[in-house]
Amino acid sequence: MSDGSDGRANPDEVFGAVANETRFSILRAVWDLTKTAEGDAAASFADVRDAAGVRDSGQFNYHLQELRPRFVRKTGQGYEPTHAGSRLVGAVVSGVYTDDETAVEPRPVGDCPICDGTIEAGYADGQMDVACVDCDVTITDMAAPPILAARRDADRLPEVYNKHLLSEIERINRGFCPYCHGRIDASVEKTEAPDVDGFDGFLNVVYACRECGGTVESAVGAAVIDHPAVVSLFHEAGIDVRETPIWELVALIDAPGEIVSEDPLRVETTVEVDGEALDLTLDGALDVIEYERRPANEGSG
């Protein structure tokens, strides 16, 4: 496969190599034969051909060579999938590229922490939407693979999606783009307040990838959800942030945040749980640089 001026292969050639039913069958056979219960192993030429169901040896060898070296590698023991090959098989199995029918009707999952209305969760078009039907506040609408909804009991979907959401939040908080794993930059902006008495909106965090240009938005509370001081605060109150749906973590959703400095950017937010308050200061990358614990009825220092 030829490389472009930036050292990367031409996407047409890359995807053309697997845009063939026989080649994907071969790639899947390599995957199935090597990912065993005992660990990774290499597969022989004959075993892969039999598993892929390609009777003609010459045709099989041609298609196998088209998959090398990007999707399949040859070792001294046989053939095994590369990282790219493994990711492609996983993406196809997950339904990301092939499933456009999986959907779960929205169903109530809790009370809105902003207006006390009803929060509903549903899945459609590759996204799990969790939002209040009364004040139209969206808790999250992050993308999720169809297999997440298609292979599980619909009643358990909110619980499963919450775990998926938390894993994506942790990835973003550590600086990785959820689309391409490239580097991301954070910025903050004030959101418009919903028509709810006593609520004047909150800061919105926008993460933008330097490489692919993708963006993800979240509340300030999500940026600190896995910080040790925050986890400890909830834990001492008997709340496990790993198991509690994020839409039930009122203290985080209610932590609006405030920009206290533009240059350098500094954002302050306070999380209050069970009579205890945690004041946090975040820098321009939305990393916590200072924090202080105090009784909730005492003002911050």
Return the pLDDT at 197. 56
CA contacts within 13 A on the Cβ side of 192: 6
- Tell me: do 286 and 212 sit in the same domain: yes
Same domain, 112 and 153: yes
Q: Based on the domain organization, do 157 and 276 belong to the same domain?
A: yes
Q: How far apart are CA 218 and CA 187, in angstroms?
A: 11
CA 89 to CA 81: how far, in whole Å? 9
What average pLDDT does this structure show over 111-128? 88
Does the structure show a pLDDT above 80 at 206?
yes
Alpha carbons 282 and 287: distance in angstroms, whole number: 5
Residue at 230 is within a domain = yes
Q: What secondary structure does DSSP assign to 260-280, as a single string? A: EEETTEEEEEEEEETTEEEEE
Gap between the Cα atoms of 97 and 46, Å rounded: 30
Q: What digits encode the pLDDT tens for the residues 236-247?
A: 999 999 899 888
Which residue, chain included where needed, has tokens 């999938």?
81
Return the pLDDT at 301. Answer: 58
Last residue of a domain, one of 59, 94, 129: 94
Q: What average pLDDT score do residues 67-95 get? A: 92
Question: What is the CB neighbour count within 10 angstroms for residue 277?
Answer: 19
Q: Sorting pLDDT into bands at 50, 70 and 90, what band is 299?
A: low
User: What pLDDT, on a 0 to 100 scale, did the predictor assign at position 154?
Assistant: 74
Q: Does pLDDT of 64 surpass 90?
A: yes
Q: What is the pLDDT of residue 230?
A: 96
Whether 248 is in a domain gets the answer: yes
DSSP state of 181: -
pLDDT of residue 278: 96
Residue 1 has pLDDT above 50, yes or no: no
